[in-house]
Amino acid sequence: MSDEQLKLDNQLCFPVYAASRLITREYQPYLDKLGITYPQYLVMLVLWETDCLTVNTIAKKLILNTNTLTPLLKRMEQMHLLLRKRSEKDERKVIIQLSDKGKQMKEEAVLIPEELAKRLADCQLDIDDLMKLKDSLNSIISILSK
């Protein structure tokens, strides 16, 4: 076995990790204006797409464990961004619903993807390359999350 495979430059995980951290850093000024963290932003994206979801559904979409997501949702409820309530059909399920404040935040957040796309457009990658990269990463996520 060669030590070559253990070099950082030969790892797939490192550029994915580094790119993720750097992209998240680019989001930070926009999220600071909204008063939320990146994980909270991801929850909001899920709820802006489909409101009134169970904790399990949100966890599955975000590839998170419910025990990681639940404290995040509790903090977001304290911030008045969402409401948590027991399902009337099955008390074991908790339904997450956007509050009025959470719905209004969507209007402020709608420009974030466009602003970040502009920032990335300043580099040498064109939009088609970025979309191919996104598709490739989604394929990896699909394979590894089974």
For residue 131, the model assigns a pLDDT of 86
Residue-by-residue pLDDT tens, the chain, 146 positions: 678 889 999 999 999 999 999 999 999 999 999 999 999 999 999 999 999 999 999 999 999 999 999 999 999 999 999 999 998 889 899 999 999 999 999 999 999 998 888 877 777 777 788 889 899 999 999 999 88
C-beta neighbour count of 73 within 10 angstroms? 20
For residue 123, the model assigns a pLDDT of 74
15 token code pair:
């550029």
Among the listed residues 38, 34, 76, the one whose alpha carbon sits nearest the alpha carbon of residue 55:
76
Q: Which residues span the domain enclosing 31?
A: 3-144
**Distance of CA 137 to CAs 6, 26, 91, Å?**
22, 19, 36
Number of domains in the chain: 1
Surface-to-core class of residue 88, CB atoms within 10 Å of its CB (0-12 exposed, 13-18 middle, 19+ buried): exposed
* DSSP-derived 3-state class of residue 57: helix
User: 83: domain CATH number?
Assistant: 1.10.10.10
3-state secondary structure 83-139: EEEECCCCCCCEEEEECHHHHHHHHHHCCHHHHHHHHHHCCCCCHHHHHHHHHHHHH
Residue 110, phi then psi, degrees to nearest 5: -60, -25
For residue 1, the model assigns a pLDDT of 60
